[in-house]
Chains A and B, each alone.
Chain A
Amino acid sequence: MKRVKKALFYLLAIALALQFLIPLVWMILSSFKIDDTIYKDLGTIFAVVPHFPDLTLKSYQELLGYYNIFQNLFNSLIYASITVLAGLIINSIAGYSLARFHFPFKNVVMLFIIALMIVPIEAIILPLFLVVHDMGLINTMAGYLLPFFVNVMNIFLFRQNFMSYPGELIEASKVDGLGEFGSFCRIVVPSSVPMYVTVGILTFLASWNDFLWPVMAISNSGLMPIQVALNAIFSDTYNIFTSHMMAALTMVTIPIVLLFVVFQKYIIDGVVRSGIK
């Protein structure tokens, strides 16, 4: 009885694992084939098991000959990096200010932040587009990036984090001649590195994966981030080779896989923490 139970458990667990892995494996393997091989293999085990003589880099070479994928990947990398950097600075000093200082209208500012937290940003994406349009910033990097530097949820998270920081340590550093900003940079930030890494990684992923805002804010192909470029490749030339498409999808996914491998602990921590609070 116990053995049967165990066998059933493994059967279920493995079937579920296959269900998640097959699409991924098929995507990667197909990117190394030519279309004829992809469709010949479809009904066979070679759809998801590598058959090395059939694998080639041809689809990557051809794809990169037609489309400037590296430019789009580079754009996305720059956009995400700037958003992370600016977002961390702006949101963390705002959160720090709310956690540490005593000033008039502090309650009003807090209330304002909490009120904005319940506004679903995607829902107001059209009026946001109009505001950026009126500023003449559509199809510019500034217009694309500026609206997403501030993140009220992150301000709130940083505030919660800094609230628990002992004020005596900051006072002591001020005796040593550091100003408020100096003590923040030299004392508070270094002791909150995990928090910064977690928020930074989640911001990076959100920026890298974003689709709706870039579709609206950027139509110039030289400025396009990778997600929009992918969709353009997919829909513009409907007859694109499956192998080329899979090569493009694989190329977009590789940087994220690396990010997960390196920062796994922080990503899981960020996901879990957001769930438990």
Chain B
Amino acid sequence: MGFRNRSYKRAEVITAYCFLFCAIVLALLFIVIPIGRAFTYGFTDYYLLKPDDKAFIGLDNFYRIATDEVFLKSFLNTLQFVVLVVPLQLGMALGLAMIVSKKVIGNAFFRTAYFSPAVLSLVVISILWTVMLNPTSGLINEILTGLGLPAQPFLTSTTQAMPTIVFISAWSGCGYQMMIFLAGLTNIDKSLYEAADIDGAGSFKKFVHITLPGLKPITMFLVITTTIQAFKLIVQPMVMTGGGPDYSTMTMLQYIYEYGYRHRNIGYASAITLVFTIFLIAVSMVIKRLFKEEKA
């Protein structure tokens, strides 16, 4: 089919662009133009309710970001969430996958049970857990005191709110990743384990030298996607705490939502959008680079 590289067939070109038409128009309208808007508005003091009154203010918004304490706090909160949730969630997912990969009686039940939070939406999960974590009349404190442990304030405490959200996110998200790890485990060559058995390797050694290396490509993919996903945390704090108490669960995306949507302060929120988007793209590129270096 080499001859086709040189010349285009008119009918084919027309058909090709007809097929692409909707996708290109929609992508331009709803992805490219918004990115452009973030760039143009980020350098203005645009307030949504006074659209004719916007002035170009240069880098003022960006100076303001650099000295904004609540922004810094929301950045650190988000970072704390990412650093805690990624290892916790992936660790839980891998552990669960190891359990359900064993061919034992009850295997199907365990798999279904571990995967079951997947049927709940983030809003449902957030509401359900907020009710269960009620410090005075919640199920969780009732269980804790029943076991002889002290009751906890959970979401109402500035120090416990974020770790609580971390746990709930890992709880609800690890089932999906368990499935991905499980597929990875079944793809590992069984004869490797048999050979290790003959050499007398223990189960810990087998885990470190066969299982983990075999799961490496999948782990890399999961670390990247979970990290990016975690940086975009918003629904759980929005529903459970509204960013409080005392901004202790305010995240970066939520800060954009608060400033841009709730307070209609488009100029400043657009500047934060730019910083946030570029930051996320940079993070995903850095993680990919790290994994590549390790591979080589």
Contacts and interface: CB of A to CB of B under 8 A. Distances in A.
Interface of A: 9-10, 12-13, 16-17, 19-24, 26-27, 39, 42-43, 47, 90-91, 93-94, 96-98, 101-104, 106, 109, 112-113, 116, 118-133, 146-150, 152, 155, 180-181, 208-209, 211-212, 215-216, 227, 230-231, 234-235, 242, 245-246, 249, 252-253, 256-257, 260, 268, 271-272, 274-276
Interface residues of B, number: 86
- Listed from nearest, the 9 A-B pairs whose CB atoms lie closest are A275-B180, A97-B19, A101-B16, A94-B23, A127-B34, A17-B113, A147-B30, A150-B26, A209-B121
A101 B13 CA distance: 7
Interface of B: 4-5, 8-9, 12-13, 15-17, 19-20, 22-24, 26-27, 29-35, 37-38, 41, 48, 96, 99, 102, 104, 106, 109-110, 113-114, 116-124, 127-132, 137, 139, 142, 146, 171, 175-177, 179-180, 183-184, 218, 221-222, 228, 232, 234-235, 238-239, 253, 256-257, 260-261, 266, 269-270, 273, 276-277, 280-281, 284
Given A104-B13, A212-B253, 7 more contacts: A97-B16, A103-B12, A120-B228, A123-B277, A131-B30, A211-B239, A275-B180
Nearest to A277: B221
B8 A104 contact: yes
Contacts of A10: 106
Contact of B277 (A124, A131, A211): A124
A124 B119 contact: no
Nearest to B14: A103
Contacts of B48: 130, 133
Most-contacted residue by chain B among A102, A120, A123, A125 (CB, 10 A): A123
A150 B27 contact: yes
A227 B114 CA distance: 24
A233 B62 CA distance: 38
Nearest to B217: A276
16 contacts: A13-B110, A16-B99, A90-B22, A109-B24, A116-B27, A120-B277, A124-B273, A126-B38, A127-B273, A146-B30, A152-B27, A212-B234, A212-B235, A212-B253, A253-B124, A260-B119
Given A120-B228, A120-B280, A146-B30, A20 B171 contact: yes
